[in-house]
Chain A
Amino acid sequence: MKDHLQIKNIYQRYEQGQLVLENIDFSIVKNEFVAILGPSGCGKTTLLKIVAGFLVADQGAVYVNGEKVIGTNPDRIMVFQDFSQLFPWKTVLDNVIFALQAKNIGKTFAERKRLARYYLEKVELSDAFNYYPHQLSGGMKQRVALARTLAADPEIMLMDEPFGSLDNQTRSTLQNLLLDIWQEARKTVLFVTHDVTEAVVLADRIVVMTKNPGRVKEIIHNKLARPRNRMNPQFVRLTEIISEY
């Protein structure tokens, strides 16, 4: 299969000269779910920002469908960990409509409204259309962010620990929701996390990184069948193996 996203020999330094990323080099095929797993400070967020186009790497480059990435593109949408990624002055519905407008999806406002409702229903938020973000819980906010991203219909979803600030139960609910959506919508996903279980639950492949400087230590193929049961001995063993790194 042809590579959808190629990350080639990326080097990145802090302004003070300290190396953050050293020779990051891997590829992702279409519709693949890849998790980048590493401790905080290993540069995984920096890497994601380079892929998104928010940052330019000091060396190396990112290619999408063989084309070099220059700047941001609504075909690569980032979902942040920060709950404040929604616009507080827009209702839940309007936050989703924002993505449709930005990508010029839907001809009339009525059509956009209908589409926005559709995506919000997908993330199970049909009761909250007219709420403002400050009225939502953290989990609900991340659902809206997910719906907004889906509405923009990007080829690649870049997820920067989107469930990192949620409690355990909400987190696993949202992980399952994300998997359902991913399987239905078939997107390429690059998912950053420091939580081994999360990586094992979600990803087809897990890129394990170490810090100082950030380097790829291992790339693990996760062949566990979906849906994955967290209590399954194989699951537990894989988690233990990865935790060893």
Chain B
Amino acid sequence: MRNNKLIHRVFWIILLALIWQIIFWSGRFSPLVFPSLLDIGGTLIDSLLNGELTQQLLFSLSIIFQGLVISLVLAVFLSLAAHFSEIAASLADTLVAIAHPLPGIALMPLVLIWFGVGRQAIIFIIIHSVLWPLVLNLRTGFSSIPEIYNLVGKNYALSRMQRMIQIMAPASLPYLLVGLKIGWARAWRALISAEMLFGAVSSSGGLGWYIFQKRVFFDLPGVFSGIIVIVIIGILVEDFIFDKIEERTIKKWGMKS
């Protein structure tokens, strides 16, 4: 089943690449518009090997990881508070209602004024992208925990802390994972856009900056190699990391429908 999916995917990618190359060979388009796959591949390998792209990739990944961790901690605290206190719940709901529909990019001008260009600004945008879907999903997750788990927990004299760790955390994991997936997808897009817009300090501006730089130097194969890396990371995270986590947890536990 899984292998099948992989084979299909590889098949389509090869086919699309082939079409691309045929169009290139047809010579109908200037290579400035439609570069050869060989050029793109060469640029990709070169800039991965000479560290130019690798460094930007690591920068982007480290920044998104920081953003995710901070958001996760904030979201857990906010959702727990909302779960146990009605005041916190109405605050959390209001915050989510205001902030969730707001695209991170729309906040960019404000963020520039508050944080300037650079790391903090991008982390802020990432947190904004991740936090609200996480809170939303955790809130749903907490409130859809079957009451019986709590009764069992109380019956066996677990403290509130123990119930949170031993029952609420695993019981809401499916929702947490959904929230993280949405959050990751939003954060990854926001990150690249922010990096392209900010044009942060050029030695470490991330993947978005790499693409922007290639663009201003009119290096289309370079632009494509940046895009390919973005796609590969996206697929790796969504298809492999999240799938693996699900396989080892909620799928194994029969908690994913």
**A touching B, CB within 8 angstroms:** yes
User: Chain A residues in contact with chain B, CB under 8 A?
Assistant: 52, 54, 72-74, 76-78, 80, 82, 84-85, 87-89, 98-99, 102-103, 132-135, 152
Contact A80 B148 (CB under 8 A): yes
Interface residues on B, range: 20 to 34
Partner of A103, one of B156, B249, B253, B254: B156
Q: Is A102 in contact with B254, judged by CB distance below 8 angstroms? A: no
Instruction: Indicate if the CB atoms of A135 and B254 lie closer than 8 Å.
Output: yes
Q: Is the CB of A87 within 8 A of B249?
A: no
Residue of B nearest to A95 (CB): B152
On whether the beta carbons of B155 and A74 are closer than 8 Å, the reply is yes
B146 interfacial by beta-carbon distance below 8 Å: yes
Please name all residues of chain A whose beta carbon is closer than 8 Å to the beta carbon of B31 when the two chains form the complex.
Answer: none
B156 with A74: CB separation less than 8 A:
yes
Answer whether residue B51 sits at the interface, using C-beta atoms and an 8 A cutoff: no
CA distance A134 to B249 in the complex (A): 13
Q: Which listed residue (B151, B152, B171, B253) contacts A134, Cβ 8 A? A: B253
Question: What are the interface flags for B43-59 relative to A under an 8 Å C-beta threshold, 1 for contact and 0 otherwise?
Answer: 00000000000000000
A-B contact pairs, 26 of them (CB 8 A): A52-B155, A54-B151, A72-B155, A73-B157, A74-B155, A77-B156, A78-B151, A78-B155, A80-B148, A80-B151, A87-B149, A87-B152, A88-B254, A88-B255, A89-B171, A89-B173, A89-B249, A89-B255, A98-B156, A99-B156, A102-B157, A103-B156, A103-B157, A133-B254, A134-B253, A135-B254
Question: Which residues does chain B contribute within 8 Å of A99, judged by CB atoms?
Answer: 156
B103 within 8 A of A: no
> Which 5 pairs across A and B sit closest by C-beta, in order of nearness?
A134-B254, A102-B156, A89-B170, A89-B253, A88-B253
Min distance, Cβ A79 to any Cβ of chain B, angstroms: 10
Closest chain A residue to B167, Cβ basis: A87
13 extra interchain contacts, Cβ-Cβ under 8 A, other than A74-B157, A80-B148?
A54-B151, A74-B155, A76-B155, A77-B156, A78-B151, A82-B148, A85-B148, A85-B152, A89-B170, A89-B171, A89-B249, A102-B156, A134-B255
Report yes or no: B158 in contact with A102, Cβ–Cβ below 8 A. yes
Chain A residue, CB-CB nearest to B252: A132
Instruction: Give B153's nearest chain A residue, CB to CB.
Output: A102
Which chain A residue has the least Cβ–Cβ distance from B255? A88
**Inside 8 A of A54's CB, which chain B residues have their CB?**
151, 154-155
Dominant secondary structure at the B interface: helix
A152 pairs with B253, CB closer than 8 A: no
CB contacts (< 8 Å) of B155 on chain A: these are 52, 54, 72, 74, 76-78
Q: How far is the CA of A19 from the CA of B250 in the complex (A)?
A: 43
> A132 near B253 (CB under 8 angstroms)?
yes
**Nearest-Cβ distance from residue B106 to partner chain A, whole angstroms:** 39
Q: Once the chains are docked, how many angstroms separate the CA of A85 from the CA of B148?
A: 6
A82 vs B151: C-alpha distance when bound (angstroms)? 12
Inter-subunit contact A87/B170 (CB<8 Å): yes
Which B residues lie within 8 Å of A103 (CB)? 156-157
Q: Which residue of A lies closest to B254 (CB)?
A: A134
Residues of chain A within 8 A (CB-CB) of B154 are 54, 72
Counting chain B CB atoms within 10 Å of each CB, which of A80, A84, A102 scores highest? A102
Which B residues from 141 to 188 make CB contacts under 8 A with A? 146, 148-149, 151-152, 154-158, 166-167, 170-171, 173
> In the complex, what distance in Å separates the CA atom of A77 from the CA atom of B155?
6
Q: How far is the CA of A135 from the CA of B252 in the complex (A)?
A: 10
A152 and B156 contact, CB distance less than 8 A: yes
Shortest C-beta distance, A136 to chain B (Å), equals: 10
Output the nearest chain A residue to B149 by Cβ-Cβ distance: A87
Q: How far is the CB of B211 from chain A (nearest CB, A)?
A: 42
